[in-house]
Chain A
């Protein structure tokens, strides 16, 4: 028997969700999901379109707040702190729990400014020298520094798609987050750019808790240590990635990952 992990049995989890349901108006998009996000591992959310994986990801930094009809029930905690409490500063939360989207969305500003923007508004740098250090460190961690160090004043939008996505990751890293959420970060990228992002995820593991939503099961298999399978708003199975892809316990998981999903 492989060791299955209980969704809520992670020792020392970075984030915990308990009995979370999400509604869009009357429609229930997420039904009573409880899951832990491990701080040292990459967690992948997989499932067919409309299964709720992106919706659930967005509850982890309150991105659903921006959708008027969306309503979230249940508890979500970041290091034990309730992120939906009235005391929680949402801007601060989104700095601690950063997000990278499907389509790279750099600001129409210079490469430098794209990365410096967050640290500036959050007051993380005192003076130009410190800001320069943060920008360089973030671009290095995002694996982009060597490619852009001589043209930091060029517009971020002039970069290739893969570079833009790494710029967005650098931007997320620049504010020194604790968790990085990635919503299909490679679906608009070619295989080489995808491989670079996957390598980057591997590099960032351990420094940040990472949660990635992906349609590409091979990608989930390659980058994550834990995989959660969502279906029709339910968390069907959560386990070690190796177990999910070699020996899933649930028929629905098996049918989905083997390409039998009807």
Chain B
């Protein structure tokens, strides 16, 4: 991607920078949504949880607007080479970031259904797990904005840590459920929360792959995606 030379047609550059700005905003909002959802969970803050659910609409609207703009750029500017790759990546990234927002919303929606779960040990693990996922989302959108393939690669590598957390939380919660059947309802919700965070990590990895493609024109080699079939999280 280009940071140096401008297009001869300046309006094209304006279109592109507006789009980049909108995608950054989407990323910032989904990162915040995850952060607030986890704080709401840890503090059993129903008001904050509700706020996350309501704010998700903004991310959805941004995605629709980004898609519309990209179709316009494709039709009117006929982007080529790195511009074309950036538009294709941006289209997919907008969709993925919207999904990340949905997962955060889904976490927030569960909070009113749970009794106060602050005492459950797994909750603190979930908060740490979400911190990593949140950083991945943050860094990968920085990588997109800065056209930095190296940062994208490093984001992919961190997905393993999220998966490890997931497996560990899964075992913790299963043990907790076996200890006392009255824990099952609460634990099932927390399992879904864990799964949602795990998916957010995967999606951040997907975004990283698209950033890598947009910057280099090549697919990220498999070994750098941190994928190892035997380590796939269960469930």
| Chain A residues with a Cβ under 8 A of chain B | 1-2, 217-218, 245-248, 253-255, 257-262
Contacts and interface: CB of A to CB of B under 8 A. Distances in A.
B8 interface: yes
Contacts of A258: 2, 7, 79-83
Interface string B59-82: 000000000000000000011111
Contact of A246 (B6, B7, B84): B84
B105 interface: no
A150 B2 CA distance: 56
20 contacts: A2-B217, A218-B78, A245-B81, A245-B84, A246-B81, A247-B217, A247-B218, A248-B81, A253-B81, A255-B5, A257-B80, A258-B2, A258-B7, A258-B79, A258-B82, A259-B12, A259-B80, A260-B2, A260-B6, A261-B8
B82 to A, nearest CB: 6
A185 B82 CA distance: 29
B9 interface: yes
Contacts of A245: 80-81, 84
Nearest to B79: A258
Instruction: Name the 5 nearest CB pairs between A and B, nearest first.
Output: A247-B217, A257-B80, A260-B5, A258-B83, A259-B7
Contacts of A253: 81
Nearest to A254: B81
Nearest to A221: B80
B29 interface: no
Interface of B: 2, 5-9, 12, 78-85, 217-218
A262 B80 contact: no
Taking chain B's interface residues, is the majority helix, strand, or loop, or is none over half, making it mixed?
loop
B147 to A, nearest CB: 13
A189 to B, nearest CB: 19
Given A247-B217, A259-B80, 16 more contacts: A245-B80, A245-B84, A246-B81, A246-B217, A247-B218, A253-B81, A254-B82, A257-B81, A258-B79, A258-B80, A258-B81, A259-B12, A260-B2, A260-B5, A260-B7, A262-B8
Nearest to A217: B80
B8 A246 contact: no
Contacts of A254: 2, 81-82
Given A217-B80, A218-B78, A246-B217, A262 B85 contact: no
Given A245-B84, A247-B217, A260 B8 contact: yes
B5 A262 contact: yes
A260 B6 CA distance: 6
Nearest to A248: B81
A198 B7 CA distance: 28
Contacts of B82: 254, 258
A184 B82 CA distance: 26
Nearest to A244: B81
